[in-house]
Structure 1
């Protein structure tokens, strides 16, 4: 029974047609008491049909059944059916309920005036008792109005709740999609930082080893050792990155950031043949992990770009200074030379900008008047929530 009720709730036209059918059956049962049974049945059918369309065309259905009710009263008076009532006229109360619940109070109030005219005409033409009939009709229509107010308010509340749930579900899905996109961006940035840095160093070392293998075997051997060391470090950091993605717990062996991490990157770049001057000022080991990682990656990406694009004798200067409200990271090189490496894709600078933006910092990159290239990042110690 409950399933059937839920099924009907989703098919209003079927439910209204069933109500119209029930009223028409009652019309058929009352027809033998009429002076003209076939005419009675035809009038009853006309009264019941608009009820099936009460929610599809409420105003038209209400006006139609009111007009038919007035016509039925006149015809009943003409053929002498003073004592036989049409059950289909219960549809007047149904239409009053429909207008209040689905259309509005103002159209329902006008309709109520029409119902008063219809009731007065029935009392006059069918010689009904004024007091009893008026009291019954008033109570009946008042009950229809009150029921419509209550159920209409409940329906509007249910619709509002459903709308809010739909909005909440959409917002949840959107947030989930944004979280997935953000996570993919973060993973891509992390992997790019690790792989691009390691591969660039390994390419430089491999190229140097290929030139030195005959003339300077010791130098070639050192370069090959640096390649192996860089590859192992890149592989270890990749494993740590994947471990961070797989679990919420902090792995026992975390990447080294802070002053030690920056110094390690500089040492690795020096081993690759890049002359680097490092200057660190202020306490950098007690800052939040995200900011420490950001500093590490900006230095790493900038020095990798210098190694790839700054010419045959690249030099760089790294300054990391903690100030009152932020940390200043500045990397400058000696200007672009005739590098044998191809231009990069630009993803390094894009990833650097994204990382700095996430940290609510400012990033400036560009060529200086003396031809050198400068990367300057200002990363706030305490970003806005």
Structure 2
């Protein structure tokens, strides 16, 4: 049963189709003994079928259900089908479902307008079908109020789940960033060690070899000592190289620095979007063939900037990312809309350099020899703009 429930949750249209089918089956069962059973079933189908796409097109589905409810009332009145026990459609429960859908998936304002339509529909039904105004009014009010409260509760739960998912995503970004930075720092240390070992050893061996070649005939003993030094230096360097290569081959260290490029930026943007951040990405110029250090710097700037937007921009955050390769550098610009759920400007204030994120971006750009500017725009949004120079040999 739990598996079936999870299966339905992943396929909302299937669940909605089953709900619409159940209401339509009640419509068919209620059609027997009607004055115009075929017309009754057709109008009842108009009440039930829009529920199939209620989550994909909530406004349109709710509007069709409301209009069809009024049509059903007029049809019952026109066909003189006013039996006190049968003067309604079972499919009118679709009205409460539509109200729930609007509250949960669209918003309170649209739901409030729809509630006005429901009042009108109930009034028309009471007047035309000669129903008990008190009974129908109380029943309708309870049904619609319950739908609204249930939607608010489940909407709050869904918002909480989305917030938890966003926090987990940010935590994963932070974890990956720390891990990759640690690997990069370790590789830099190993590269420095390799340079020290190889450069020193090769330099000594070259000098000793030159001396041995000059002293080979004039001073054989000196040449022999030089050759012995070359062998000793070579064995020592080989031992150091083996140790360093063993570190490089360790599973904890990748074989080479990652080249992120356009695919990496696209992955960052797509992940931010499932979490809940609306992002537009514009890229120009070839950035897939820049040096790995520049590629990593661009990737980290975009990732950190979008993470800050997701953390600080409040409800309905939006960001625009522009990455362009120019003649001598790579331009990275990230702009957000600056919206916030916290109200006052003081509560939304972000000071440049006050957080580790901006400090880290400044340090990264500085290491790459570039410049970074970050600050608030007049409309309340934030801009992060960096210019990272290309390698001199490019």
TM-score normalised per structure 2: 0.60
**Once the 2 structures are TM-superposed, how far is the Cα of residue 238 of structure 1 from its aligned partner?**
4.1
Residue in 1 that maps onto 2:108: 105
Residue in 2 that maps onto 1:165: 168
**Once the 2 structures are TM-superposed, how far is the Cα of residue 182 of structure 1 from its aligned partner?**
2.9
1:209 to 209, 212, 234: 212
Residue in 2 that maps onto 1:57: 57
Distance in 2, matches of 1:244 and 1:56, equals: 53
Residue in 2 that maps onto 1:74: 74
**Once the 2 structures are TM-superposed, how far is the Cα of residue 208 of structure 1 from its aligned partner?**
1.3
1:96-175 residue pairs with structure 2 within 5 A?
A: 96-175=99-178
Show CA shifts across 1:195-245 (max 9, x none): 121111111101210111001212212212221332233344446656878
Distance in 2, matches of 1:33 and 1:183, equals: 83
3-state SS in 1 of match to 2:31: helix
Distance in 2, matches of 1:13 and 1:243, equals: 55
Q: Please, which runs of 5 or more residues in structure 1 have no aligned partner?
A: 248-356, 362-385
Q: Please, which runs of 5 or more residues in structure 2 have no aligned partner?
A: 251-362, 368-394
Distance in 1, matches of 2:243 and 2:51, equals: 71
Residue in 1 that maps onto 2:185: 182
Once the two structures are overlaid, the 10-residue window that deviates more, 106-115 or 121-130, is 121-130
Residue in 1 that maps onto 2:6: 6
Distance in 1, matches of 2:243 and 2:60, equals: 71
3-state SS in 2 of match to 1:33: coil
**Residues 1:45 and 2:16 aligned together:** no
**Residues 1:220 and 2:223 aligned together:** yes
Show CA shifts across 1:268-311 (max 9, x none): xxxxxxxxxxxxxxxxxxxxxxxxxxxxxxxxxxxxxxxxxxxx
The number of residues matched between the two structures is 251
Residue in 1 that maps onto 2:328: none
Distance in 1, matches of 2:60 and 2:134, equals: 31
Show CA shifts across 1:357-382 (max 9, x none): 99x99xxxxxxxxxxxxxxxxxxxxx
**Once the 2 structures are TM-superposed, how far is the Cα of residue 87 of structure 1 from its aligned partner?**
1.3
Show CA shifts across 1:129-166 (max 9, x none): 11111111111100000000000111111122222222
Q: RMSD between aligned alpha carbons?
A: 2.4
**Residues 1:93 and 2:78 aligned together:** no
1:256-335 residue pairs with structure 2 within 5 A?
A: none
3-state SS in 1 of match to 2:196: helix
Residue in 1 that maps onto 2:22: 22
Show CA shifts across 1:333-357 (max 9, x none): xxxxxxxxxxxxxxxxxxxxxxxx9
**Once the 2 structures are TM-superposed, how far is the Cα of residue 172 of structure 1 from its aligned partner?**
2.5
3-state SS in 1 of match to 2:81: coil
Distance in 2, matches of 1:71 and 1:244, equals: 77
3-state SS in 2 of match to 1:93: helix
Show CA shifts across 1:174-197 (max 9, x none): 333333333223222211211121
Distance in 2, matches of 1:33 and 1:156, equals: 47
3-state SS in 1 of match to 2:59: helix
Residue in 2 that maps onto 1:316: none
Distance in 2, matches of 1:151 and 1:159, equals: 12
Distance in 1, matches of 2:9 and 2:185, equals: 42
Distance in 1, matches of 2:177 and 2:230, equals: 44
Q: Write out the 4+ residue segments of structure 1 that deviate beyond 3 Å after TM superposition.
A: 235-247
TM-score normalised per structure 1: 0.61
**Once the 2 structures are TM-superposed, how far is the Cα of residue 16 of structure 1 from its aligned partner?**
0.8
Distance in 2, matches of 1:63 and 1:241, equals: 70
